[in-house]
Structure 1
Amino acid sequence: MLRIVYWVAVAINPCDFVSPVTDAVFNRVQPAPLALILAIALAIVAAAKDVVTRRVPNKIVLAGSLGGVLLAVLQSGVDGLAIWFAGTAVGSTLLLPGFLLRMTGGGDLKLVAVLGGLLGPRLILHAVMVYYLVGAVWAVAYSLHGSIVNGRPLPFLRLWRRRAGCSTGAAAGTDRCATDQYADLDDGHRTPNAEPVPMAPAIAFGVCAAIWLAHHS
């Protein structure tokens, strides 16, 4: 049994998988131009869909994932596949805390994971850093625009007023913590919840910025 384990370990040398990943991170290995083009196209299409439908379709994510795996294997074989896995892991890990805190949508998490596979671990790290900076400004601007133009409540204001209503309802022995598409705000006044902010445009901006900076640094 031990000999079988040894033979398997020799046949599948971990260094064969770790080396291309470390090269991609520390030696500035760039993905193939076709992978960069696919990443930009995928990010732009997802951003447009997110703005219109407020969600990133799974079909787009699946197509990008299959395309990324195919390009990685055709370009560098096992080395390319290792870099694809590393980029996917880095992208999903960076957005996982926000997803667990319900601050990031599942579609955004899957989109960044797929983009990480296309860009590699180094570029997706830079893209997410830009996304965090730009995304904060984008979320505030989008929420203010919806509040001014459509009269929708700001997300943080709605959350604060709902919590205040829940506390008042608990003290009075009533349940005012509605979880449907309307939030109980003032006495007898029901206001539609603030619509979710589409964050895919900020992700697309981060991807384009990371690629541009990598080729002009």
Structure 2
Amino acid sequence: MTDAQLVLQITLAALFFIIAIATDLTSQRIPNALSLAAIFCGFAINGYYAQLNGLLLASFGFALAFIILFPIFIIRVLGAGDIKLMMGIGALMGPELLAWSLLYGVAAGSVTSLLLVLWRTGFSGVANTLKRYWDCIYCKTYFKPEPGEAAGQKVPYAPALAIGWLVACNINYDLSSVYLQLSHYLGWGA
């Protein structure tokens, strides 16, 4: 993998995440056009720089994102936009970085989701959710979340996925060295 390819992949992935975060936070949606652009760029860049091997790498990254995330979509933990975005990131960056990004993204999502819910509902919203869960267990029936309760909040997950991707990029030596070169070139580093 050449430095030019890595710089292009990192730059595009960062751009896709920035747009996804902005739209997810404002409208709680990630546009299909953005995900399709990420998928197309992933196949085009990997195919151009590494021909058949690059297309296979993009295909594995694309498929791995679907295989891991589709069951999570079925149980309504993630939205379809998050899955399609990560399929694009998988096609762009490959299966290994995708897997690490998802792992770190889940950890980041635990923190960001809790902080966002606490910010929106306060400790009383979390306490009301815990009380409702206790009532559900005690009465052996399900009670819907009340307005203002922590469990009733929709949490945008693109920021957590982006944080997971950033952590995975910084831990991967090849990517972190290219990132440092790029940041020095752009004047971001010392």
TM interval, shorter chain, is 0.7 to 0.9
Q: Is it true that 1:157 corresponds to 2:129 in the alignment?
A: yes
Aligned-residue RMSD, C-alpha: 3.1
Deviation, structure 1 residue 184? 7.8
Higher mean C-alpha deviation, range 207-216 or range 138-147: 207-216
TM-score between the two structures when normalised by the length of structure 2? 0.75
- Aligned match of 1:213: 171
Paired residues for 1:1-217 under 5 Å? 32-148=6-122, 153=125, 157=129, 160=132, 164=136, 185=146, 191=147, 194-215=152-173, 216=176
* Distance in 1 of aligned mates of 2:109 and 2:73: 15
TM-score between the two structures when normalised by the length of structure 1? 0.66
Contact 2:132 2:145 in 1 (8 A): no
* Distance in 1 of aligned mates of 2:60 and 2:82: 18
* Distance in 1 of aligned mates of 2:145 and 2:167: 41
Counterpart AA for 1:201: P
* Distance in 2 of aligned mates of 1:116 and 1:52: 25
Counterpart AA for 2:165: V
- Unaligned 5+ runs, structure 2: 178-190
Q: What is the total number of aligned residue pairs between the two structures?
A: 169
| Higher helix content, 1 or 2 | 2
Identity %: 26
Q: 1:67 to 1:158 in 2, by over 3 A?
A: farther
* Distance in 2 of aligned mates of 1:43 and 1:88: 16
Deviation, structure 1 residue 94? 2.1
Post-superposition Cα deviations, 1:68-115, rounded to whole Å, max 9, x if no partner, equal: 121122111111110000011112222223212111111111111111
Deviation, structure 1 residue 213? 1.2
Contact 2:42 2:93 in 1 (8 A): no
* Distance in 2 of aligned mates of 1:102 and 1:89: 20
Q: 1:148 to 1:34 in 2, by over 3 A?
A: same
Structure number with larger C-alpha Rg: 1
- Unaligned 5+ runs, structure 1: 1-23, 25-30, 171-175, 178-182, 186-190
